[in-house]
Amino acid sequence: MYTELNGKLAVVTGAGGSLGAAVARRLHQDGVRLALLDRSEEPLQKLNAEIGGIYKMVDLTDNLAVEAAVVSIVESLGGIDILVNVAGAFVFSGPVPAMNPIDLDLMLNVNVKTAFLLSAAVAKRMVTLGKSGRIINVGARAGLTGVANMAAYSASKAAVLNLTEAMAAELRDSNITVNAVLPSTIDTPANRKSMPDADPSKWVTSESIADVIAFLASDSARDISGALLPVYGKS
């Protein structure tokens, strides 16, 4: 538990998914006030009923919608202390010569553009208010090295890692840290279904990743910025 997080305000994107919900629950344990963002209402409603906070359905690839959501959160709850960019997606795009360009557009929009738009909107408010802040992105091990048949996903996650490092350099003098966690395969119902022959005991759990994110949001990580932290489990 990080008692210094009590009362701080965090925005969690992709909060309707397995990892986003785990992050929200972990921060809630530390007394963090939450603004939960996703495109789908039903999972947000269930999570909101469980841990409270507020939730908003937002197209996170739409700049105007993102800006409006951030303005609304700040006006109703005050300055944002923590942003966790969890929203993302995955596709096996196949060999590059046969790859559908739609898959590349999807990966860049959902994995990169969402993190870019939210980070820009939130960082602007953090700097204006002159307060310290934490921005935490969810990258992937596949972003470190290109993976066969996953070029679109690997490229998008590589962009997230470079975005993380660039923003860390830009915001270091504003007391805003920017870091990323790099999971391997996450143990989720969807991944178990899509890979029935794999051994999920070697995967990393959403709760474990959420613990690392909570650490990065805490004062214990105040001097860490630009880090790309591997969270691989046993794989």
The total of structural domains in the chain comes to 1
Instruction: Please report whether residue 199 resides in a domain.
Output: yes
Residue 108's domain comprises: 3-229
Instruction: Please report whether residue 139 resides in a domain.
Output: yes
> Buried b vs exposed e over 97-134: b needs ≥16 C-beta within 10 Å?
eebeeebbebbbebbbbbbbbbbebbbebbbeeeeebb
Instruction: Please report whether residue 234 resides in a domain.
Output: no
Q: Nearest Cα to 78, choosing from 118, 125, 114?
A: 125
Express each pLDDT in 110-148 by its tens digit.
999 999 999 999 999 999 988 899 999 999 999 999 999
Domain containing residue 101: CATH number: 3.40.50.720
Express each pLDDT in 24-49 by its tens digit.
999 999 999 999 999 999 999 999 99
Instruction: Please report whether residue 58 resides in a domain.
Output: yes
65-86 mean pLDDT: 97
Instruction: Please report whether residue 157 resides in a domain.
Output: yes
Instruction: Please report whether residue 52 resides in a domain.
Output: yes
Instruction: Please report whether residue 149 resides in a domain.
Output: yes
pTM across the whole model: 0.96
Check whether 194 has a pLDDT greater than 80. no
Instruction: Please report whether residue 204 resides in a domain.
Output: yes
| Residues carrying an active site annotation | 153
